[in-house]
Amino acid sequence: MAKALTKSQIADQLAKKAGTTKKQMVEIMNDLATLAYKEAKNAFTIPGIGKLVLVKRKARMGRNPQTGAAIKIPAKKVVKFRVAKACKDAVLG
């Protein structure tokens, strides 16, 4: 299996494609990530890739895997990433 691209490699490829410097591209990537974190509670969409959404999980009963004892898992908020159909089709064929 091939290795995943690093942030530096992604920035380098995007910089070459856009005709900018690698440093500028890293700054753009950081700004995009910061914006995504800030807007995730309202759903942040990257067209063709997917969407970050804030989901409220209900309280539920679970089990301690070590002892088998039942435990109560409290309600909480989690961030999920929903992959876009275009991305699924492109990757899975």
For the chain, what are the domain ranges? Answer: 1-39, 43-93
Percentage, residues of the chain above pLDDT 70: 99
Quote the pLDDT of residue 78: 95
The per-residue pLDDT for range 13-67, each reduced to its tens digit, is 999 999 999 999 999 999 999 999 999 889 999 999 999 999 999 999 999 999 9
Mean pLDDT for the chain overall? 94
Q: Rounded to whole angstroms, how far apart are CA atoms 84 and 35?
A: 19
Q: Which of 58, 57, 56, 53 is nearest to 41 (CA)?
A: 53
Q: Amino acid identity of 19?
A: G
CATH of domain 43-93: 4.10.520.10
